[in-house]
Amino acid sequence: MLFLTGWFFNLIGSFVNNKIIKRIIGLIGILILAWLAGTVSVDHSADTAAYMRTFSMNPSTSIFESGYLNLSYWFYTNGFDYTTFRTVTFFVFYILFYISVNALSNNPNFFILIYSFFPFLSDATQVRNFFMLTFVLMACAVLTKRTFSRYLLAIALIYVASLFHSTGSIFYLFVLLRAIHFRKIYIIIPKLIYIITAAGVLLWATGSISLLSQYIGSLSFFSERNGISESLQTYSAGIFNVYTIPMVASYLFMLHVLQIIIKDKMDDSTLTEKDESLYLLFLIGAIGIPVIFSSFAFERILRNSMMCGIILVTSTTTIKNLKKGDGVKYILFSLSIILGIIAEGYLYDIPGMMGSYTFYILKFIQ
């Protein structure tokens, strides 16, 4: 019941005014999540079992990206077992993750409340992806102020992120977007996202989605992994997954919520650099919309960016600033989270689905 203890602590923390106490409570909650993620059993996660089998592999095999392989191999050659490696690294990365969230959010406790339900379970199993996302959030926090040195540091952090998971490379676009006038992006990009979504639906409906396979395979030059080109083309072979629709709908609902929040902040002249950075990172997830119609394996692109949307929404939400007319916004936000949970399969106790692991990962069942 440690998961529920941490969750209720952060529920209380959401109503606390003292910032130091709030952050201590948030840290307790995030350390609990780190322990739950670090101690996932190989019997209750296919990803964990795969990582354990490759733990002793030399980085020269390039079975995964070099950052992850070198890190895991260092632990292996220094006499640590896989469980120790996994637990220690999750604690380190979750602390870095929490530092970034604190730098970007005014209400980390509320963020942890939502994150604990979505998408924590995915981060607990997709290790390389979570490590990559942590570095991306650090880059986001760095570019809340735009100076030449910060641009260089953000680029370096995104490069390190790509060494843990190849999809980290798409976030170089974040650096570019931060250099463009924000209001132009706010007006133009969301319209393009709806066009991209319509195009993805059209390609799927006409049976032409496999046309993306060759293009997606060409993206392999971003990755150091062996066989990545073949894997990408296999993943993008035009196989539609029923969970694609709720995942895309989840992203689009979140987009609409963020559009409302950003507009209100621009009207009130309260828009901050943090808000802009989180919003831009969220928009980058739209890259995943056309390819997710090709294969649900690309859902992580949307999910990773939705993390930034959750931080932005929870950061701007307190009991004090709730206004009449906010109901629609929070209904859409709730729908976005619920659809994300459905799309990730957290609720389905079916072999191979995340739901079959949920209670074991959260330690409700030993």
Rounded to whole angstroms, the Cα distance separating 60 from 53 reads: 16
| Radius of gyration (C-alpha) of the chain in whole angstroms | 20
Please write the tens of the pLDDT for every residue from 175-201: 999 999 999 999 999 999 999 899 888
SS3 at position 180: coil
Q: Of residues 352 and 330, which shows the higher confidence score?
A: 330
pLDDT confidence band for 41 (50 / 70 / 90): confident
Q: Say if residue 74's pLDDT is above 70.
A: yes
In Å, what is the CA distance from 176 to each residue of 104, 185, 259, 300?
19, 11, 21, 22
Closest by CA position to 135, among listed 325, 307, 348, 309: 307
Q: Say if residue 211's pLDDT is above 80.
A: no
Rounded to whole angstroms, the Cα distance separating 43 from 47 reads: 10
Rounded to whole angstroms, the Cα distance separating 103 from 140 reads: 9
Q: What is the pLDDT of residue 235?
A: 46
SS3 at position 71: helix
Q: Say if residue 240's pLDDT is above 60.
A: no
Q: Say if residue 70's pLDDT is above 50.
A: yes
Q: What percent of the chain has pLDDT over 90?
A: 68
Report, as an integer, the average pLDDT of 122-148. Answer: 96
Residue 60 CB neighbour total at 10 angstroms: 10
Token pair 């859902």: residue: 299
Rounded to whole angstroms, the Cα distance separating 47 from 15 reads: 37
Token pair 């066009």: residue: 195
Which of 148-152, 210-214, 246-250 is the least confident region? Answer: 210-214
What are the E-state strand segments in the chain?
none
Query: DSSP code of 216?
Result: H
Rounded to whole angstroms, the Cα distance separating 138 from 281 reads: 12
Report, as an integer, the average pLDDT of 153-174. Answer: 96
List all residues 6 or more positions away from 156 whose beta carbon is below 8 Å from its beta carbon.
none
Q: Are 43 and 366 in contact (CB under 8 A)?
A: no
Report, as an integer, the average pLDDT of 325-342. Answer: 91
pLDDT, the chain, mean? 88
Q: Say if residue 238's pLDDT is above 60.
A: no
Report, as an integer, the average pLDDT of 19-23. Answer: 93
Report residue 267 as tokens: 């009207």
Most confident of 297-301, 309-313, 325-329: 309-313
Q: Provide the CA 80 distance to its chain's centre, in angstroms.
A: 28
Q: Say if residue 92's pLDDT is above 60.
A: yes
Residue ranges of the domains in the chain? 2-361
Q: What is the pLDDT of residue 229?
A: 47
Q: What is the pLDDT of residue 233?
A: 47
Token pair 């006038």: residue: 181
Q: Say if residue 318's pLDDT is above 70.
A: no
